Amino acid sequence: MNVATSVQGLPSVPAIFTAIKRELGLVDPVWSSYPPQWRSLCALWLRVESALARTGHPDLSNDELTDLQVPEDIRQWMIDKRRSDKTQNPRNDFGKIWTKFLTGVALSASKGKRNILNEMWCRPGKTGIVMFLLGTYWQAEYSGSGKDWFANVERIDTIFNVILSHPDMYAFRSPFRTNVLTSTALENANGASGNLMLFLQALRRNVG
């Protein structure tokens, strides 16, 4: 299915988000009516979500959410989702707060000031990077999709790509391949050693 032309919504969304796709702006009419940058960002989110799922990081606990440094409306949404409570709309000045937050995160990520994988929110699930879709959707719905919105989409694109390209992410991608390569190298080394021993034994017999 072509993500850009779907009239249903974003395909292949993990099951954990199925019930809240509308809250995230992942189905029509939002899906088709928003700018194409939104659909591209959501497709990129799927890639990052899938990559982070292999890390095995669980949802943040209530205590951890208390310490999470994100906009208050976002944190409350995560808490409500853990309790299965109904969520509230963000405050009127959410757009400005969201822009300020993203500017700081994107700047730190692009300059490598902090290991982005150590961020509490850098995980899969409802207490992780899905907040970037939620905040962007909220900004469009309650603050308008002006220049700040488009700039924030680019900032999140940067954040997502920094996560995907982080060297530590390769450790979670294909452990089977790593093991195969390692075992093959050992087998080759052992085989070479065995052949050398046979050659030396034959040489001694001939000399003797």
Domain boundaries, the chain: 3-172, 174-208
Q: Model's pTM, two decimal places? A: 0.78
Give the Cα-Cα-Cα angle 117, 126, 55 (nearest 5 degrees).
35
* Separation between Cα atoms, residue 202 and residue 87, nearest integer Å: 80
pLDDT score of 169? 85
128 or 112, which is more confident: 128
* Separation between Cα atoms, residue 147 and residue 105, nearest integer Å: 18
The stretch 116-123 carries a mean pLDDT of: 94
The stretch 115-138 carries a mean pLDDT of: 96
**What are 127-173's pLDDT values in tens digits?**
999 999 999 999 999 988 799 999 999 999 999 999 999 988 877 65
**What are 38-58's pLDDT values in tens digits?**
999 999 999 999 999 999 999
Is the pLDDT assigned to residue 183 strictly greater than 60? no
Q: What are phi and psi of 146, to 5 degrees?
A: -90, -155
* Separation between Cα atoms, residue 181 and residue 167, nearest integer Å: 19
Query: In angstroms, what CA-CA distances link 6 with 52, 102, 106?
Result: 25, 28, 29
Where do runs of H (alpha helix) occur along the chain?
A: 30-33, 36-53, 62-67, 72-83, 94-111, 130-142, 147-165, 175-207
